[in-house]
Amino acid sequence: MIRQKNEPLVLLLAGGVGSRLNNLVQSRAKPAVPFAGIYRIIDFSLSNVMNSGFSQVGVLTQYKPLSLMRHIGDGAAWDLTGRTRGVKILPPRTGSRDSDWYKGTADAVRQNIDFIRAHPTPEVIILSGDHIYSMDLDDMLQAHRRKGADMTVATMVVPKEQIHQFGTAITDADGRVVEWEEKPVHPRTDLASMGIYVVSTAYLLKTLETYREDTDFGMDIIPRAITADWVYAYPFRGYWRDVGTIQAYWEANMDVLRSDSPITPQAWGIRANPEAEGLSFDRCPARLVGAGRVHNSLVAAGCVIEGTVINSVLSPGVRVEAGAVVRDSILFHDCLVGSGAEVDLAILDKRVAVGPAAVVGVGDAQEKKRINRAHPEHLYSGITLVGKGAQIPAGVTIGRNCIISPWRQAEEFGSVTVASGESV
pLDDT of the chain, 424 residues: tens digit per residue: 444 558 999 999 997 777 889 999 998 989 999 999 999 999 999 999 999 999 999 999 988 888 889 899 999 999 999 888 899 999 876 544 444 567 788 888 988 999 999 999 999 999 999 899 999 999 999 999 999 999 999 999 998 888 888 999 999 999 999 999 988 888 899 999 999 999 999 999 999 888 666 678 988 899 999 998 999 999 999 999 999 899 999 999 999 999 999 999 999 999 999 877 656 567 889 999 999 999 999 999 999 999 999 999 999 999 999 999 999 999 999 999 999 999 999 999 999 999 999 999 999 999 999 999 999 999 999 999 999 999 999 999 999 999 999 999 999 998 899 999 999 9
Task: List, in order of start, the domains of the chain with CATH numbers.
Answer: 9-257 (3.90.550.10), 280-418 (2.160.10.10)
Contact 216, 223 (CB under 8 A): no
| Separation CA 81–CA 85 (nearest Å) | 5
Q: What pTM value is reported for the model?
A: 0.93
Cα Dmax for the chain = 69
Q: What does the angle CA 55 – CA 57 – CA 61 come to, to the nearest 5 degrees? A: 160
| Separation CA 184–CA 89 (nearest Å) | 34
Pairing of strands 177-182, 167-171: antiparallel
| Separation CA 150–CA 106 (nearest Å) | 15
At residue 411, the pLDDT reads: 92
Please name the amino acid found at residue 251: E
At residue 152, the pLDDT reads: 98
Exposed (0-12), middle (13-18) or buried (19+): which is 186, by Cβ within 10 Å? exposed
State in Å, rounded, how far the first CA of the chain is from the last one: 50
Contact 326, 320 (CB under 8 A): yes
Beta bridge pairs of residue 176: 232
Reported for 215-219, long-range contacts at CB under 8 A and 24+ positions apart, including other chains, are 215/103, 215/104, 215/105, 215/106, 215/107, 215/110, 216/104, 216/105, 216/106, 216/107, 217/104, 217/105, 217/106, 217/126, 218/105, 218/167, 218/180, 218/182, 218/193, 219/104, 219/182
Beta bridge pairs of residue 293: 308
